[in-house]
Amino acid sequence: MSLKKLLKNNVFMLVLSIAFMIALCIIAFVYSVKAGIISTILFICYIIYVMIYSYFGSGEIKNNLAGKSLASHTFDFISDMNVPVLLCDSRGSVSWYNNAFRELFSETTFKIGDSGKSISDDIDISRFEKACKDADSDNYILAKKDNRYFRIHPYYIETMRKNFWLAVWIDSTEHEELIKKHIDSNVLVAYAAVDNINELSSGIQQDRYREISAKIYNVLNDWVNSMHGIIKEYERDKYLIFFEDKYIGQQFESKFDILDKINDLSEDTDGVPLTVSIGIARVFGSGLDEKEEAAKNSLQLALQRGGAQVVVKNRNDNEFFGGRTKTIQKRTKIKSRVVANELVSLISKSSNVLIMGHANPDFDAIASCVGIARLAMSRGREVKIIEDLDNPNFSICREKLSGIKEYDKIFVDKVYGQELLKPDTLVVISDVSNVSIFESPEIYRNAENVVVIDHHRQTQEFTKNHAITYIEPTASSASELVAEMLEIVLPLNTLAKEEAELMLAGILLDTQNFTRNVGIRTFSAAMYLRGEGANTSSAQAMFKYQIGEFKKIAEFERNIFIFRKIFAITQYENDNDPENRITAAQVADRMLMIDGIHASFTVSKVENAIHISARSDGSVNVSLILEKIGGGGHFDSAGAKISGSSMKQAMSMLREAIVNYCDNN
């Protein structure tokens, strides 16, 4: 036993002290018998004192003596064990470490008292406290060192003078490698579908279509084979795919270049864009049935976002790739016919119908709600439209409908609308699919039967199931979608002239007078409304400017600057009137007339938030740009609302989102 350990031994020290006192007694007897007797008496008293407090003393003293002995043994044990242990203070100053820790960091010199924000590049002291408080962290930090994985378990030690962190490093390399192997072998389920197959097949001969379809399959098959997966065509140009998770990383790195490979085949389709949408379920710990359902929902979300993209469903969120190709408007009305008949059935089964659009409604939102209201009234159901009764756009529409008696009491605010909600009430939401900007999110959350009709790209999954979800991003407007359904289920001349003109105004607004995002179905809807009595001049008259709007437009245009040669950006912060949102959208449309500009953005104050309106000539997906800052919308028309930020911060966020889009596209 070493001298250091021998001195720490309590028994040894007790024997040593007794021997020392006996020696003193002997020396005392040599000089004087009286001194020796006194020394002997004192020695006996000392022995009695030790015996009393050793065997009959308080438990506290016993514990203190035992604790000191235990602490000594514990320190020796930690110093010699082969598990790395580190002791540091809350500032990162190294106080002590054992031999195993020294061997692990042999290339690094740690001096007692060295301070810093981290012990190493991977281990930040601030993470210790978070690991101890975070219920989901299992009280450890995972770190990698020299191709070995460690679970660092921090323990907080409070002393009278200073507090410390005791970090114990447990080698978990084998465990982590098993976890990785398990994750890598997890089977992912995916659905893939050609977006515009109906338009493709109707424009070319059948044998030519089969040739193109075979090329699509070959490209997809090569892609799946590169991941050692399985692909099966379960329906015409629709595929079910299985592959392991270990191959998904390379797809993230390539940003799913399979989309570009499919689009490259468009050269053989006489100018018709050829795109594919893919939904992937990357859900761990689930059965194949749950993964299949998640993959199906992911594909549906990809289609509702405009197609030509991949949606990867993770455990807690979704990841989006692609969306750079603008899909063409669908020619067929099959889905519209199915939705119209389902909607009529739901209306007939309900006791009353509540209809609403988005907050700060435009003509398209109000007009589409009016069209659905006419459908509900034709079925003899009580119907109310929930609107912001103080909105200037609503005032114009209400005046337009003032001659129709049925609309005298049809408009209500969201407070009264909540009182009208019953278990069998049908709630129809038009021109919006983002819950946060519904006219009344509360009514939506409390409703049991919900229908959503929209033409914007869906930015997120719904948290509840809907009776009908009809989202068609290739449509020009919600008024177009509603007009199609009314044409299918209503007898001719059912719409009032004012209703038809209002819906035509909604189409004119979102198409910029039939100059943007227009397809065959858009003109077909306009023809139907024209046949119902709509006058184009009367609809156009609803867009007349007030003198104040002209002045704001001039101020917007005075602040225009060009960013990265193809983006025009302007701002307005002279006031925060609600009307700024409408004026900003008009200015964004006007800025596209600038030569060389492919996308425009207007940033303005609207009440207590910053609003951004974006427009594109079709070569830039402005929806993808604004999704980076919490917005979204259509491929060439989008918006965003930023709360709690200044104009300067909002402009910085917008420029950063544009740069990110340019770098990735």
For every residue of 346-362, DSSP letters joined together read: HHHH-SEEEEE-BSS--
What's the CATH fold of domain 81-180? Beta-Lactamase (3.30.450)
What's the CATH fold of domain 334-543? inorganic pyrophosphatase (n-terminal core) (3.90.1640)
The CA-to-CA distance between both ends of the chain, in Å, stands at: 72
Residue 251 is predicted with a pLDDT of 92
Residue 58 is predicted with a pLDDT of 47
Name the E strands within 387-537. 411-412, 426-430, 449-454, 468-471
Domain 547-664 bears CATH identifier 3.30.450.40:
no
Name the E strands within 274-313. 276-281, 309-313
Residue 114 is predicted with a pLDDT of 46
- Lowest model confidence (mean pLDDT) among 18-32, 56-70, 168-182, 272-286: 56-70
What superfamily would CATH give domain 189-322? Reverse transcriptase/Diguanylate cyclase domain (3.30.70.270)
- Lowest model confidence (mean pLDDT) among 31-45, 277-291, 305-319, 579-593: 31-45
Residue 330 is predicted with a pLDDT of 63
Q: Rounded to an integer, what distance in angstroms lies between the CA atom of residue 650 and that of residue 661?
A: 17
Measured in whole angstroms, the distance separating CA 517 from the mean position of its chain's CA atoms is 28
* Sign of the dihedral through C-alpha 136, 140, 143, 146: negative
What three-state secondary structure class fits 492? Answer: coil
Regarding predicted confidence, which is higher, 27 or 171? 171
Residue 111 is predicted with a pLDDT of 46
Evaluate if pTM is beyond 0.75: no
pLDDT at 653 over 70: yes
pLDDT at 410 over 70: yes
Residue 118 is predicted with a pLDDT of 45
- Tokens 């579908």 — which residue? 193
Residue 631 is predicted with a pLDDT of 86
Q: At what angle do helices 478-489 and 334-349 cross, to 10 degrees?
A: 70
* pLDDT band at 367; cut points 50, 70, 90: very high
* pLDDT band at 484; cut points 50, 70, 90: very high
Q: Report percent pLDDT > 90 for the chain.
A: 41
- SS3 labels along 568-582: EEEEECCCCCCCHHH
Residue 23 is predicted with a pLDDT of 74
Residue 386 is predicted with a pLDDT of 96
Residue 443 is predicted with a pLDDT of 95
* pLDDT band at 143; cut points 50, 70, 90: confident
Q: Rounded to an integer, what distance in angstroms lies between the CA atom of residue 178 and that of residue 661?
A: 38
Which positions ≥6 away from 433 have C-beta within 8 Å? 304, 452, 454, 456, 458, 459, 471
Same fold, 81-180 and 547-664: no
Regarding predicted confidence, which is higher, 580 or 268? 580
Q: Rounded to an integer, what distance in angstroms lies between the CA atom of residue 477 and that of residue 67?
A: 79
pLDDT at 48 over 50: yes
Regarding predicted confidence, which is higher, 482 or 19? 482
* pLDDT band at 62; cut points 50, 70, 90: very low
Q: Which residues pair with 252 in a beta bridge?
A: none
Q: Are strands 309-313 and 318-322 parallel, antiparallel or unpaired?
A: antiparallel
pLDDT at 649 over 90: yes
Residues 501-518 pLDDT 10s: 999 999 998 888 888 778
In terms of Cα–Cα distance, which of 627, 602, 599, 600 is closest to 612? 602
Alpha helices in 330-437 (DSSP H): 334-349, 363-378, 392-400, 414-419
Q: What is the dihedral of CA 656, 659, 664, 665, to 10 degrees?
A: 140
Amino acid at position 575, single letter: D
pLDDT at 483 over 80: yes
* pLDDT band at 65; cut points 50, 70, 90: very low
- Tokens 């867009």 — which residue? 543
pLDDT at 299 over 50: yes
Q: Are 233 and 217 in contact (CB under 8 A)?
A: yes
Summary mean pLDDT of the chain: 83
- Lowest model confidence (mean pLDDT) among 242-251, 285-294, 341-350: 285-294
Q: Rounded to an integer, what distance in angstroms lies between the CA atom of residue 658 and that of residue 612?
A: 13
Cα separations in angstroms, 417 against 193, 272, 442, 452, 511? 40, 46, 10, 17, 31
pLDDT at 31 over 90: no
Residues 432-482 pLDDT 10s: 998 988 999 999 999 999 999 998 877 777 888 899 999 988 888 999 999
Domain ranges of the chain: 3-78, 81-180, 189-322, 334-543, 547-664
Regarding predicted confidence, which is higher, 157 or 60? 157
Mean pLDDT calculated for residue range 303-309:
83
pLDDT at 589 over 60: yes
Q: Rounded to an integer, what distance in angstroms lies between the CA atom of residue 661 and that of residue 651?
A: 15
pLDDT at 591 over 50: yes
Regarding predicted confidence, which is higher, 250 or 89? 250
Q: Rounded to an integer, what distance in angstroms lies between the CA atom of residue 599 and that of residue 326?
A: 14
Phi, psi of 24 (to 5 degrees): -65, -40
* Sign of the dihedral through C-alpha 649, 650, 653, 658: negative
* pLDDT band at 11; cut points 50, 70, 90: low
Q: Are 474 and 635 in contact (CB under 8 A)?
A: no
Cα separations in angstroms, 663 against 325, 628, 632, 656, 657? 16, 13, 19, 11, 10
CB neighbour burial string for 546-560, b if at least 16 within 10 angstroms, e if fewer: eeebeebbebbbeeb
Q: Rounded to an integer, what distance in angstroms lies between the CA atom of residue 485 and that of residue 489?
A: 6
Highest mean pLDDT (candidates 53-62, 168-177, 201-210): 168-177
What three-state secondary structure class fits 310? Answer: strand
Residue 208 is predicted with a pLDDT of 75
Residues 73-124 pLDDT 10s: 666 777 777 888 888 776 767 778 888 888 887 766 554 444 444 455 445 6
Q: Which residues pair with 384 in a beta bridge?
A: 354
